[in-house]
């Protein structure tokens, strides 16, 4: 993506339009302001950490800072300035990448202690020509631990004539000890309209005619990165030969026509599977990548959801997004949008890994079609409650009107309320004469209901990633290793050791014979690094508890048994034969059922009063496989 189509150096816009000073650096006003204040008040740190996504201008900023520090002005008498002149010997030499006192190093290719040692040695000598010796180290998180340690001493007591400028895309991989000695600047993703405007100026300077919509597509695909955007613009210009329109850019990016993405989403939400497949096939034939189509649908789902929450967001959007988007956002229920998001996301993952992406995409969309008119978990639960309540009160068992979640003739179901126009699939309570899609719909309905019965609460909130984690329990320690992508150690900790004692800073365990022999020191090293404090990890002779994984399996089993015994779950299982209990999520520590199911009990007036199975033609469900999505 970053190469130009013809590879000719003339076209490399990212280089040609690289900002030479802060006034031409776009989208980073906040950082520039902070930097300016620091420089003008003379409180410049000796080390900077520039962080942000790739292509956002980190090394460019580092070079401008190097100029700012060393500029002597056109007359040779100026001091450090936020507006380097660009003409003095230092500015020119730095711009041309040949200044003796400004060293740039890419930590991605030079990660070792020897590379750092060179720098550490050089730091002792005064700059040859400039005011400061500046070391720019890109992708600094790639340095080895040894290299970081070597650097640390210099960072603690740097000579006054030395400045370090570090850049990284992964700030979390930089040791806290290093971070704490740097002034940190976060470079932000450049917003789409700023990128568009920037690209428009460049297109004009390049004398290329490019439509605003095409610019917007490029800016969008750049995802906040100026460099990526300019590479795409290069490519678009090479493709277009002087005139670039949105269609060309779409082709280049493999994007489907925006209007057709809207059409597709509309059909999906209506559950019109044949039409969806026809349109998808058509888009595929005209060159759209199935993965990109799914990404577009996801993006549209996100946009519509946002629009529901913040209707004002439409003001700055493109025409189609604004008009059609607003209309769709109004018609669709939030629960349906969030479900579509989840299913599309799953579908995207499958499609990315599938041997035949188009087939995987078709499957994902068919699934979504059949889910379109199902009730949301909340609706299913309500229906279940209402049905049970009515039955108990009337004394005559009747199928709740919308328990199956699909639209009954009376138009009562909530799903139909939310989405006025879905085709009405048969009611699950009717005999098995339905079209072939019926079992699928029923299956999903039963899943929805059972999932609801077991866990209608919101997903357990994920712990936010704090800057410095501080695990206090063994489970938290294991979770930290999982989060930090150390699966082998996490595996060993959860399966191959018996926890004896755990408190912040201290961990004791008895390793099983299969555990790696150096487990304790490695765990200690990682914990100390991540938490920024010293951890003692020792091997104990005490028996300790059962390994964590085993404890969890037992707890899960016990929870399952309790949940299965719950009257509401039993009722749901009877109502939806073929349903299985997938997961049980506890709301509190005792693993009890959630509050809303207690309310459900009240509605069921007598709890044990489960509907008689013969009311519902069980043979209709026999072909239903276990749920798989
Ligand atoms: Zn200068």
Ligand 1 midpoint to CA 195 (Å): 28
Per-residue confidence (pLDDT) for residue 137, from 0 to 100: 94
Ligand 1 midpoint to CA 83 (Å): 8
d(CA 214, CA 239) in angstroms, rounded, equals 13
Ligand 1 midpoint to CA 102 (Å): 14
d(CA 158, CA 120) in angstroms, rounded, equals 10
Ligand 1 midpoint to CA 16 (Å): 20
189 with 55: CB under 8 angstroms? no
Ligand 1 midpoint to CA 17 (Å): 19
Ligand 1 midpoint to CA 80 (Å): 9
Ligand 1 midpoint to CA 69 (Å): 9
Ligand 1 midpoint to CA 35 (Å): 17
Q: β-strands 506-511, 497-503: how paired?
A: antiparallel
> Among candidates 206, 211, 271, which has minimal Cα distance to 421?
271
398-420: pLDDT as tens digits: 343 333 433 333 333 444 344 44
d(CA 376, CA 274) in angstroms, rounded, equals 23
**Average of per-residue pLDDT across 356-370:** 92
Ligand 1 midpoint to CA 50 (Å): 22
430 Cβ contact partners less than 8 Å away, ≥ 6 residues apart: none
Give the chain's mean pLDDT. 78
Beta partners for residue 133, in sequence order: 162
Sign of CA dihedral 616, 622, 623, 624: positive
d(CA 387, CA 407) in angstroms, rounded, equals 15
Residue 248 confidence (pLDDT) above 90: no
Ligand 1 midpoint to CA 310 (Å): 47
Beta strands in 199-346 (DSSP E): 209-210, 243-244
Residue 184 confidence (pLDDT) above 80: yes
Per-residue confidence (pLDDT) for residue 220, from 0 to 100: 85
Ligand 1 midpoint to CA 309 (Å): 49
Ligand 1 midpoint to CA 198 (Å): 25
Half-sphere exposure of 326 (CA within 13 A, CB side): 13
Per-residue confidence (pLDDT) for residue 341, from 0 to 100: 94
Beta partners for residue 183, in sequence order: 48
Most trustworthy range by pLDDT among 90-94, 223-227, 615-619:
90-94
Ligand 1 midpoint to CA 67 (Å): 7
71 with 88: CB under 8 angstroms? yes
Ligand 1 midpoint to CA 79 (Å): 9
587 with 457: CB under 8 angstroms? yes
Ligand 1 midpoint to CA 78 (Å): 8
Q: How many CB atoms lie within 10 A of CB 344?
A: 27
Q: Lowest mean pLDDT of 114-128, 310-324, 391-405, name the range.
A: 391-405
Q: Is 517 helix (H, G, I), strand (E, B) or coil?
A: coil
Per-residue confidence (pLDDT) for residue 317, from 0 to 100: 64
Per-residue confidence (pLDDT) for residue 322, from 0 to 100: 73
d(CA 2, CA 91) in angstroms, rounded, equals 28
Ligand 1 midpoint to CA 101 (Å): 14
Per-residue confidence (pLDDT) for residue 564, from 0 to 100: 80
- The helix (run of H) or strand (run of E) holding residue 105 is strand 102-106
Ligand 1 midpoint to CA 86 (Å): 5
Ligand 1 midpoint to CA 167 (Å): 23
Ligand 1 midpoint to CA 60 (Å): 16
Question: pTM, whole model, 2 decimals?
Answer: 0.52
> Among candidates 462, 413, 474, 448, which has minimal Cα distance to 579?
448
Select the more confidently predicted residue: 51 or 319.
Answer: 51
Ligand 1 midpoint to CA 19 (Å): 15
Confidence at 113, pLDDT banded by 50, 70, 90: confident
Residue 614 confidence (pLDDT) above 60: no
**Average of per-residue pLDDT across 477-493:** 88
Per-residue confidence (pLDDT) for residue 251, from 0 to 100: 80
315-347: pLDDT as tens digits: 666 666 777 888 888 888 888 899 999 999 999
563-589: pLDDT as tens digits: 888 777 777 777 666 676 766 665 544
Per-residue confidence (pLDDT) for residue 434, from 0 to 100: 40
481 with 526: CB under 8 angstroms? yes
Per-residue confidence (pLDDT) for residue 472, from 0 to 100: 86
Residue 162 confidence (pLDDT) above 90: yes
Ligand 1 midpoint to CA 95 (Å): 10
Ligand 1 midpoint to CA 91 (Å): 4
53-112: pLDDT as tens digits: 888 889 999 999 999 999 999 998 888 899 999 999 999 999 988 999 999 998 888 878
Per-residue confidence (pLDDT) for residue 413, from 0 to 100: 40
Per-residue confidence (pLDDT) for residue 432, from 0 to 100: 43
Ligand 1 midpoint to CA 75 (Å): 9
Ligand 1 midpoint to CA 160 (Å): 21
Ligand 1 midpoint to CA 73 (Å): 5
Per-residue confidence (pLDDT) for residue 577, from 0 to 100: 63
Ligand 1 midpoint to CA 523 (Å): 50
**Average of per-residue pLDDT across 289-293:** 89
Q: Sheet containing 536-539: give its strands across.
A: 497-503, 506-511, 536-539
Ligand 1 midpoint to CA 215 (Å): 34
Per-residue confidence (pLDDT) for residue 11, from 0 to 100: 52
423-460: pLDDT as tens digits: 444 444 444 444 444 444 444 444 444 444 444 444 44
Ligand 1 midpoint to CA 57 (Å): 20
Ligand 1 midpoint to CA 89 (Å): 7
Residue 265 confidence (pLDDT) above 60: yes
Per-residue confidence (pLDDT) for residue 624, from 0 to 100: 43
**Average of per-residue pLDDT across 226-254:** 85
Q: How far does Cα 555 stand from its chain's mean position?
A: 30
Confidence at 374, pLDDT banded by 50, 70, 90: confident
Number of H-type helices and E-type strands within the chain: 26, 10
d(CA 320, CA 481) in angstroms, rounded, equals 45
Ligand 1 midpoint to CA 53 (Å): 29
Ligand 1 midpoint to CA 576 (Å): 77
């Amino acid at each position: 993506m970053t190469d130009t189509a013809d590879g000719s150096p003339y076209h490399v816009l990212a280089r040609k339009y690289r900002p030479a000073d802060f006034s031409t650096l776009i989208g980073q006003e906040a950082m520039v302001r902070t930097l300016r204040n620091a420089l003008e008040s003379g409180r410049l740190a000796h080390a900077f950490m520039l962080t942000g996504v790739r292509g956002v201008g980190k090394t460019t900023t580092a070079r401008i800072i190097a100029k700012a520090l060393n500029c002597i002005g056109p007359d040779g008498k100026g001091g450090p300035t936020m507006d380097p002149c660009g003409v003095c010997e230092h500015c020119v030499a730095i711009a041309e990448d040949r200044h003796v006192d400004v060293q740039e190093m890419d930590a991605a290719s030079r990660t070792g202690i020897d590379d750092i040692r060179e720098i550490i040695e050089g730091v002792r000598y005064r700059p040859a020509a400039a005011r400061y010796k500046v070391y720019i180290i890109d992708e600094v998180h790639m340095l080895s631990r040894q290299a970081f340690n070597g650097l640390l001493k210099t960072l603690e007591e740097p000579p006054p004539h030395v400045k370090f400028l570090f850049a990284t895309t992964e700030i979390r991989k930089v040791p806290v000890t290093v971070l704490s000695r740097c002034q940190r600047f976060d470079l932000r993703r450049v917003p789409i309209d700023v990128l568009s405007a920037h690209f428009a100026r460049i297109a004009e300077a390049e004398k290329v005619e490019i439509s605003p919509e095409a610019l917007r597509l490029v800016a969008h695909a750049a995802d906040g990165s100026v460099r990526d955007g300019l590479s795409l613009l290069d490519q678009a210009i090479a493709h277009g030969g002087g005139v670039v329109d949105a269609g060309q850019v779409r082709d280049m990016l493999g994007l489907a026509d925006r209007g057709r993405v809207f059409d597709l989403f509309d059909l999906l939400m209506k559950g019109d599977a044949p039409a969806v497949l026809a349109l998808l096939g058509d888009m595929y034939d005209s060159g759209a990548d199935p993965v990109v189509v799914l990404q577009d649908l996801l993006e549209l789902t996100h946009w519509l959801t946002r629009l529901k929450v913040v209707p004002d967001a439409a003001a700055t959007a493109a025409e189609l997004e604004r008009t059609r988007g607003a209309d769709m956002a109004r018609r669709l229920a939030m629960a349906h949008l969030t479900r579509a998001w989840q299913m599309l996301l799953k579908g995207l993952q499958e499609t990315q890994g599938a041997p035949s992406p188009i087939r995987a995409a078709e499957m994902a969309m068919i699934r979504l079609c059949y889910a379109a008119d199902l009730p949301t978990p909340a609706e299913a639960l309500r229906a279940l409650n209402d049905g049970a309540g009515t039955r108990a009160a009337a004394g005559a068992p009747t199928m709740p009107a919308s328990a199956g979640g699909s639209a009954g003739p009376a138009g009562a179901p909530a799903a139909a309320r939310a989405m006025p126009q879905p085709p009405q699939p048969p009611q699950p309570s009717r005999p098995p004469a339905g079209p072939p899609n019926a079992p699928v719909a029923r299956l999903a309905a039963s899943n929805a209901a059972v999932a609801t019965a077991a866990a209608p609460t919101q997903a357990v909130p994920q712990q936010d990633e704090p800057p410095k984690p501080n695990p206090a329990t063994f489970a938290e320690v294991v979770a930290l290793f999982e989060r930090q992508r150390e699966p082998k150690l996490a595996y060993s900790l959860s399966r191959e050791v018996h926890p004896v004692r755990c408190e912040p800073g201290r961990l004791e365990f008895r390793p099983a014979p299969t555990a790696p022999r150096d487990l304790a020191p490695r765990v200690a090293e990682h914990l100390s690094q991540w938490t920024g404090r010293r951890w003692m990890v020792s091997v104990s002779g005490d028996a300790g508890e059962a390994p964590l994984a085993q404890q969890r399996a037992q707890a899960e089993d016990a929870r399952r048994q309790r949940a299965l015994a719950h009257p509401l779950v039993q009722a749901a299982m009877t109502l939806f034969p073929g349903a299985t209990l997938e997961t049980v999520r506890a709301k509190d520590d005792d693993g009890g059922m959630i509050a809303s199911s207690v309310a459900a009990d009240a509605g069921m007036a007598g709890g044990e009063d489960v509907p008689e199975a013969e009311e519902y033609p069980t043979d209709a469900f026999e072909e239903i496989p276990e749920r798989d999505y």
